[in-house]
Amino acid sequence: MDYYYAPENENQQERKTGKKRPSFNLSIYITVILFILASAGGAVIYHFFFSTDAATTSMINKAKRVVMTNVFGKEPHFYWADFEKNGKNYKLKKDDKFEVTYRDEFMFKKIHTDSLTGRGISVDVEKAGSSNDLGILLKGIELVDHYLKDRSQEFTIWVRYKDKVIASVPVEIQIQPQDWLRMAKQAGSKKMKTEYLEKAVDMKKEDVNARKMLAGTYANSGETDKALSEYESVIKQKPDDLESLVVLSKMYVEKKMYQDALLAYRKIISLNSKDAAAYASIAHVYCLIGNWPRAVANYRVSLRLSPKNPAVRYNLAEAYEKSGNYKDALSEYELVYKDMPESEAVMAALADLYLKTKDFDGAIDIYEKFIKKQPRNASAFANLGLAYGEKGLLSKEISSYEKARDLDPDNSIIHFNLAAGYEKAERYDDAAREYRKVLKLKPGDSDTLQRLAQYYLKKKVYKQAIEYYARYLEHYPKNAAALNNMAFAYQEIKDYENAVSCYKKALENGLKDDTVYFNIAVSYEKMGKESEAISAYEKYASLNPNADVLVVLANHYEEKKQYNQAIEAYTRLIGIDTENPAFYKERGRIYFVKGEVEKAIADYRVSLSHGQEDDGIYIALGEAYEKKGMYAEALTEYTHAYQINPESPVAIKKIPQLKIKLLKKKHKG
């Protein structure tokens, strides 16, 4: 006999309601018995008078088993299971093996037994699904992942009648290379990741990507030789793998395998003849082995391909110098100073050039020597201060600028640079003093106006900050950052209307900061403009679905009885933090208010599964079950609430009420 999966069998219903079903329905079973006896009787007559084989005997035996199962409650006999795997239908018998890989999806659709109704029959795929997996789509990856964590365990498909096993079929897990790759990605340690990747490569040696992953893991773990070997294997299989060639060449250099490195870099160039970095790397290898002419030649090619690379140009100069070609080296280093070490003009020019090319050590050295010759040269002190600043020598930077200021007090640039130095030293009051001197010398200097505005903003002197930002914006009315800062200052002094105006202008002029919409929303709230505030919050949430703003929106929607929007907001919150039980609880509550009780129950359950031990959720769940008329389930949840909070008035009230309802339902039944 067959049966199909039903959402809830009678045994489950008994457990939920507490009400035992009658042992049998007499009229139904009399009909069944008569049918079976009639069938069996015909078979017996045929057997005794006509049949000479075992087919009829088998039919009689089966009929007997059907009677024993369906009338006397004996265990049914299992014949086979119909199941679907990856869209195709199959049969599974007792002596079969169930083969599964991580790619498989399967469902047990139908069980063939002696049971006429199928009541009490269940299928349990061990380590997957639930206690009864009949009609449930299962994924092989669940079984594979369990197996990979502990390969000593065995898996079985159990067919049960009530609580008794009537059949079992072993499950055979088939491991694929992709399984080890997945485990490697999830591994919590480098050691485990390496082991998994090794297994993947061992199963599929031609998998280049797996080898590259393994090689990278070896490299990160400091196992350079193993990494080198794997990358070499990759190149043997895929000679044009540019990524592996680049890594491999660098490893050869680290291992001082210079000839191998050169071969690898030349292979890179054969794949991309315009790769400036590859030529520079070849030159570097030639430097390491002392072949300067080859280094020069390759640096020159690299510079032709990438002429603005300062590092390569410096290396070229060094290679020229190392090879004895001082003319080209002097061209690069501006070695005029070596030819005329006492010339003040040459010293000044060379020092300036070092500063422009960011050779700050050279600049400091030459300027210090120059100042010994010209101790009252304000420009030299100012430039020395700049070089010290670029080197991070802050105290020397400030001292040099102060000397330059004293020598040239009417120079606005020196005052500005000194102020910037004070700012770096967090001497903000001294910096503001110097910036104000700049404005006296150069009233419309926009950079100084901006610096003073920022200074007062940091000092929280917001009205003064607004004044300087306003003056700055006269020069640059579309400066979005200044408009944004000015808006913030207005907001801090509670001038929300001007704050909103400035924030909007900042957006109009290209400000990309999403938080502006949040600040606009807050300002509108302070102004009492609720609809405008919500609109701004919605815009902010669309750009940056922040949990705080989504909660604000959800509360607003709920207050306005816009339940669909509130549900959507909580759904987005769940997307941000899937482990937060409060989000599921609140969404479930709104579903309940909408009358979508099933969805409410589902969300309450998820909330509980995430560790929310809250009597309020159990109360809510009880109310949901009670609304569906599922009094036994409701009683269970109210009892949970009472156990957590014995003083819960709802639980105290509902528990006796539901017990009475269940008694009435039982007696009525």
Is residue 397 in a domain? no
In a domain, 149, yes or no: yes
Question: What CATH number does residue 115 fall under?
Answer: 2.60.40
| Per-residue model confidence (pLDDT) at position 391 | 94
Q: What is the DSSP letter of 97?
A: -
Parallel, antiparallel or unpaired: strands 105-113 and 138-139? antiparallel
Report strand pairing: 98-100 vs 78-85.
unpaired
Q: Are residues 97 and 118 in the same domain?
A: yes
pLDDT in tens, 38-93: 544 444 444 443 444 555 666 777 777 777 777 777 889 899 999 999 999 999 99
Angle between helix 208-220 and helix 177-186 axes, rounded to 10 deg: 30
101-148 tens-digit pLDDT: 888 999 999 999 988 877 889 999 988 888 898 989 999 888 888 888
Residue 452 pLDDT exceeds 90: yes
133 and 187 in a single domain? The answer is no
What is residue 601's predicted lDDT score, i.e. its pLDDT?
93
The reply to whether 127 falls in a domain is yes
The answer as to whether 121 is a domain residue is yes
Tens-place pLDDT, residues 496-509: 999 999 999 999 99
H-run or E-run covering 88 = strand 88-92
Same domain, yes or no, for 109 and 163? Answer: yes
Of 175, 202, 229, the last residue of a domain is 175
**Domain, as residue range, for 182:** 176-238
Q: Which residue has the higher pLDDT, 93 or 7?
A: 93
Nearest residue to 521 (alpha-carbon basis) of 510, 508, 511, 530: 530
The length of the chain, given as a count of residues = 669
Mean pLDDT of 346-353: 65
d(Cα 485, Cα 465) in Å, to the nearest integer? 9
> What distance in Å separates the CA atoms of residue 518 and residue 390, rounded to the nearest whole number?
38
172 SS3 class: strand
Residue 529 forms part of a structural domain: no
Q: Is residue 642 one of the residues assigned to a domain? A: no
Higher-pLDDT residue of 245, 338: 245
CATH number for 234: 1.25.40.10
> What tens digit of pLDDT does each residue of 213-239 get?
878 888 888 888 888 888 888 888 888
Same domain, 152 and 182: no
Say if 204 falls within a structural domain.
Answer: yes
**Measured distance CA(129)–CA(108) in Å, rounded:** 12
Note whether 96 and 110 are same-domain residues: yes
Could you tell me if 256 and 264 are in contact, meaning their C-beta atoms sit under 8 angstroms apart? no
pLDDT tens-digit profile of 597-617?
999 999 999 988 886 678 888
H/E segment holding residue 395: helix 394-407
pLDDT of residue 56: 60
Tokens for 347? 């010293």
Same domain, 196 and 148: no
Q: Which residue has the higher pLDDT, 350 or 621?
A: 621
Q: How far is CA 439 from CA 446, 464, 468, 472, in A?
A: 9, 15, 11, 12
| Residues 82, 162 share a domain | yes
pLDDT at 128: 85
pLDDT at position 446 over 90: yes
Q: Which of 181, 186, 182 is nearest to 198 (CA)?
A: 181
Q: Which of 175, 197, 227 is the last residue of a domain?
A: 175
Residue 190 dihedral angles phi and psi, to the nearest 5°: -65, -35
Contact 286, 298 (CB under 8 A): yes
Write down the pTM of the prediction.
0.42
Distance, C-alpha 574 to centroid of its chain:
14
Q: What share of the chain is helix, strand, coil (3-state, %, to 5)?
A: 65, 10, 25
Domain membership flag for residue 459 = no
Task: Tell me, yes or no, whether 158 and 210 share the same domain.
Answer: no
Check if the beta carbon of residue 354 is closer than 8 Å to that of residue 338.
no
CA distance 632 to 18: 8
Q: What is the pLDDT of residues 269-311, one digit of tens each?
A: 999 999 999 999 999 999 999 999 999 999 889 989 987 776 6
- Which of 175, 193, 209 is where one domain is finished? 175
Q: What's residue 83's pLDDT?
A: 93
Residues 146 and 193 placed together within one structural domain of the fold: no
Task: Point out which residues pair with 525 in neighbouring strands.
Answer: none
Report how far apart, in Å, the C-alpha atoms of 449 and of each of 274, 479, 651 are: 47, 13, 67
Q: What is the mean pLDDT of the chain?
A: 83
Of the candidates 615, 625, 614, which has an alpha carbon nearest to the alpha carbon of residue 658?
A: 625
Q: Into how many domains does the chain fold?
A: 2
Q: Do both 213 and 130 map to the same domain?
A: no
